[in-house]
Amino acid sequence: MAYVVPTEFVTKMVDSGESKLLMSTRDTLIRSYMAGAILALAAAFAVTVSVNTGNPLLGAVLFPVGFILLYLMGFDLLTGVFTLVPLAVLDKRPGATWAGVLRNWTLVFFGNFAGALTVAVFMAIIFTFGFSEAPNAVGLKIGTIGESRTVGYSAHGAAGMLTLFIRGVLCNWMVSTGVVAAMMSTSVSGKAIGMWMPVMVFFYMGFEHSIVNMFLFPSGLMLGGKFTIMDYLIWNEIPTVVGNLVGGLTFVGLSLYSTHYKTAPKRVLS
The DSSP string of 29-43 is HHHHHHHHHHHHHHH
Q: Using the predicted structure, report yes or no on whether residue 259 has a pLDDT greater than 60.
A: yes
| 268 pLDDT tier (thresholds 50, 70, 90) | low
Q: What is the pTM of this model?
A: 0.96
* pLDDT given at position 265: 78
CA torsion through residues 98, 104, 105, 107, sign: positive
* pLDDT given at position 269: 59
* pLDDT given at position 270: 53
| 264 pLDDT tier (thresholds 50, 70, 90) | confident
Q: Using the predicted structure, report yes or no on whether residue 266 has a pLDDT greater than 90.
A: no
Q: Using the predicted structure, report yes or no on whether residue 110 has a pLDDT greater than 70.
A: yes
Percent of the chain predicted with pLDDT > 70: 99
* pLDDT given at position 120: 98
Domains contained in the chain, CATH given:
6-261 (1.20.1080.10)
Strand, helix or coil for residue 185: strand
Half-sphere exposure of 33 toward its Cβ, with a 13 Å CA cutoff? 8
Mind listing the pLDDT tens digit for each residue in 9-40? 999 999 999 999 999 999 999 999 999 999 99
* pLDDT given at position 181: 97
Helix, strand counts (H, E) of the chain: 14, 0
Q: Using the predicted structure, report yes or no on whether residue 204 has a pLDDT greater than 60.
A: yes
Contacts 24+ apart (CB under 8 A), 3-12: 3/184, 3/185, 3/190, 4/183, 4/184, 4/185, 4/186, 6/256, 6/260, 7/260, 7/261, 9/180, 9/183, 9/184, 10/256, 10/257, 10/260, 10/261, 11/261, 12/183
Amino acid, single-letter form, for residue 139: G
| 263 pLDDT tier (thresholds 50, 70, 90) | confident
